[in-house]
């Protein structure tokens, strides 16, 4: 039997502490595909939708491609953007139904102007069209903030298990294989959700350093091996969102035909206790002064040093225009170095107008909030490249998908090549540097705006990696933020007088 399955993506990780907002132009800047544009752009890629396309072909589905909308992490989604994407999705669902199943690639930390749980808000709209009898399978980012309502809106949920997220395709395949079994009547999946009383946990989900998240995933795999346990997901949560459910959670997909809800909740409770046991194990970035001292002492003959500005990571919704790290590198007179990607469309226009080979004096960065992570920086340098900023992700994240930084330039200031872009882009792929002619393998020092994802692409070429906090919006210093919507009490903002058995 050929099942008719709707394939949808609506992804944004929303930072509620930024001055910015996410509009429809932000989706177009990343990608916003409709109908048959989706397989043309996603087939064979290392993405959740790429995995869904793979299963559709292998299982003989009749896939119906609805919308695929993605915006780089940013501020709360404007209502105009949310409604435009949602209405397009609902229109296509109404015109192309009925369906035997629905697959939706979500992030899990989307916030809109009208709902602090934008993912469930979107699923509610879908359910209003397709009803509640049709099984819905979703994928989630490892940094999802999970609200209880999700258990009423989806039957299957699978989160990434890697950070950097290099298993997107595999997670899409896993969710869709479970969806196929549900449509065939082989399983009756349901969700159980639990969370410990924590804002910070799981070492932010890092899986490259063999730390707490690796131990937690091992325990989750053991629990998932029990009969009737279909998938067990651990989410580290997204602390840059002031919402009720921010923080770690456990989502258990179980076969309700053979497993009672209490057993699935018990799995979640045991894993919440394990998350709690690691609550004081958290990898912190090094101070900027310590980072610069290490860079000055580095010997280029020992290999490439990659330094990441944790605090100005556009992948968590930070501004990506902070200058503190670049200014410190220039002051230290570092050579054979490159940095990127600094967001400053105005500076790009001025530098591009001067043309390749010109010497220009220009003010770069620090425009969004000069009080955060370094203000505007005036530099004099040589224009090395002016491009359209387009590239294709080399991987291991988003492998094969097209990307763009908008109009982009490379400005050489002393021994530092600075990539300046018109659209925000986390530096998680070597081809992003190459979009302006910077070959990362030929530099002694690479400075990237990223927290963890950079390790997937740059780890293999790095002799050493340093993560620093240069005072940007996404600094892990919680004293910089005020939470008003977060459930309380919660660790570490409140005294530790919690019983872990009280996990919600």
Say yes or no: 321 and 376 in one domain: yes
Decide if 493 is inside a domain: no
Contacts of 369 (CB under 8 A, 6+ apart): 19, 319, 473
**Alpha-helix runs per DSSP H in 131-260:** 150-153, 168-183, 212-224
Asked whether the beta carbons of 29 and 72 are under 8 A apart, the reply is yes
Decide if 494 is inside a domain: no
pLDDT over threshold 90, residue 496: no
Say yes or no: 295 and 412 in one domain: yes
Domain boundary among 254, 277, 300: 277
Decide if 127 is inside a domain: yes
Mean predicted confidence (pLDDT) in 5-13? 98
- State how far the Cα of 75 lies from the Cα of 241, in Å rounded to an integer: 9
Asked whether the beta carbons of 172 and 52 are under 8 A apart, the reply is yes
Angle at 190 between CA 186 and CA 191, to 5 degrees: 145
Decide if 197 is inside a domain: yes
Domain boundary among 255, 277, 299: 277
Decide if 490 is inside a domain: no
pLDDT at 1: 73
User: What tokens does 61 get?
Assistant: 């589905």
Say yes or no: 261 and 315 in one domain: no
- State how far the Cα of 319 lies from the Cα of 369, in Å rounded to an integer: 8
User: What tokens does 121 get?
Assistant: 């808000």
Decide if 187 is inside a domain: yes
Say yes or no: 400 and 423 in one domain: yes
pLDDT at 503: 62
Structural domain span for residue 150: 4-277
Asked whether the beta carbons of 321 and 343 are under 8 A apart, the reply is yes
Say yes or no: 324 and 443 in one domain: yes
Say yes or no: 29 and 156 in one domain: yes
Write down the residue that tokens 């986390």 correspond to. Answer: 426
Say yes or no: 102 and 34 in one domain: yes
Say yes or no: 192 and 64 in one domain: yes
User: What tokens does 127 get?
Assistant: 């359910």
Decide if 467 is inside a domain: yes
Decide if 499 is inside a domain: no
pLDDT over threshold 80, residue 411: yes
Say yes or no: 290 and 165 in one domain: no
Number of CB atoms found within 10 A of residue 76's CB:
24
Asked whether the beta carbons of 7 and 139 are under 8 A apart, the reply is no
Classify residue 273 by burial, with Cβ atoms within 10 Å: 0-12, 13-18, 19+: middle
**Count of structural domains within the chain:** 2
Say yes or no: 154 and 197 in one domain: yes
Say yes or no: 273 and 390 in one domain: no
Say yes or no: 265 and 308 in one domain: no
User: Where on the phi/psi map is residue 203: left (φ > 0), alpha (ψ -120 to 50), or beta?
Assistant: left
Write down the residue that tokens 């091996």 correspond to. Answer: 225
Q: Across 365-451, where does the E strand assignment appear?
A: 377-387, 390-392, 402-404, 408-413, 416-421, 445-448
pLDDT tens per residue, range 69-105: 999 999 999 999 999 999 999 999 999 999 999 999 9
The confidence band for 450, taking pLDDT boundaries of 50, 70 and 90, is very high
pLDDT tens per residue, range 221-236: 999 999 999 999 999 9
């Amino acid at each position: 039997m050929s099942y008719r399955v709707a394939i949808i993506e609506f992804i944004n990780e929303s930072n509620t502490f930024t001055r910015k907002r996410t509009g429809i132009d932000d989706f177009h800047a990343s990608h916003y595909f409709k109908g048959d544009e989706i397989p043309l752009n996603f087939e064979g890629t290392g993405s959740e939708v790429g995995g869904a396309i793979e299963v559709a072909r292998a299982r003989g589905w009749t896939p119906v491609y609805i919308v695929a909308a993605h915006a780089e992490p940013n501020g709360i989604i404007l209502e105009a953007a949310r409604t435009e994407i949602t209405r397009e999705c609902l229109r296509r669902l109404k015109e192309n139904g009925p369906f035997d199943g629905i697959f939706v690639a979500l992030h899990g930390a989307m916030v809109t102007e009208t709902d602090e749980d934008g993912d469930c808000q979107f699923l509610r709209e879908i359910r209003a069209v397709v009803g509640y009898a049709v099984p819905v399978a979703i994928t989630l980012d490892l940094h999802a903030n999970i609200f209880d309502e999700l258990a009423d809106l989806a039957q299957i949920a699978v989160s990434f298990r890697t950070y950097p997220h290099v298993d997107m395709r595999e997670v899409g395949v896993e969710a869709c294989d479970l969806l196929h079994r549900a449509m065939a009547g082989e399983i009756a999946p349901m969700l159980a959700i639990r969370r410990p009383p924590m804002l910070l946990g799981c070492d932010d989900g890092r899986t490259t350093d063999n730390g707490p998240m690796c131990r937690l995933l091992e325990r989750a795999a053991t629990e998932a091996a029990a009969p009737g346990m279909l998938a067990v997901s651990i989410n580290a949560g997204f602390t840059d969102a002031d919402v009720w459910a921010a923080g770690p959670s456990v989502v258990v997909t179980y076969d309700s035909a053979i497993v009672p809800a209490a057993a699935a909740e018990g799995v979640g409770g045991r894993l919440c206790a394990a998350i709690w046991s690691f609550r004081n194990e958290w990898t912190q970035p090094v101070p900027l002064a310590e980072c610069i001292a290490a860079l000055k002492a580095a010997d280029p003959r020992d290999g490439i040093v990659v330094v990441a500005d944790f605090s100005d990571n556009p992948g968590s919704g930070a501004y990506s225009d902070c200058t503190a790290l670049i200014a410190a590198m220039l002051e230290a007179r570092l050579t054979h170095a490159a940095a990127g990607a600094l967001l400053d469309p105005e500076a790009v226009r001025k530098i591009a107008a001067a043309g390749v080979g010109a010497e220009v004096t220009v003010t770069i960065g620090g425009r969004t909030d000069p009080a955060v992570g370094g203000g505007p920086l005036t530099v004099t340098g040589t224009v090395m490249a002016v491009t359209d900023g387009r590239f294709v992700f080399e991987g291991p994240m988003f492998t094969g998908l097209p990307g763009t930084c908008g109009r982009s330039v490379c400005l050489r200031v002393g021994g530092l090549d600075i990539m300046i872009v018109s659209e925000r882009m986390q530096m998680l792929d070597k081809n992003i540097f190459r979009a302006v002619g910077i070959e990362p393998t030929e530099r002694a020092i690479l400075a990237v705006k990223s927290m963890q994802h950079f390790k997937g692409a740059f780890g293999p070429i790095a002799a050493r990696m340093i993560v620093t906090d240069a005072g940007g919006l996404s600094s892990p210093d919680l004293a910089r933020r005020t939470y008003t919507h977060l459930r309380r009490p919660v660790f570490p903002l409140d005294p530790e007088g919690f019983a872990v058995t009280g996990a919600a």
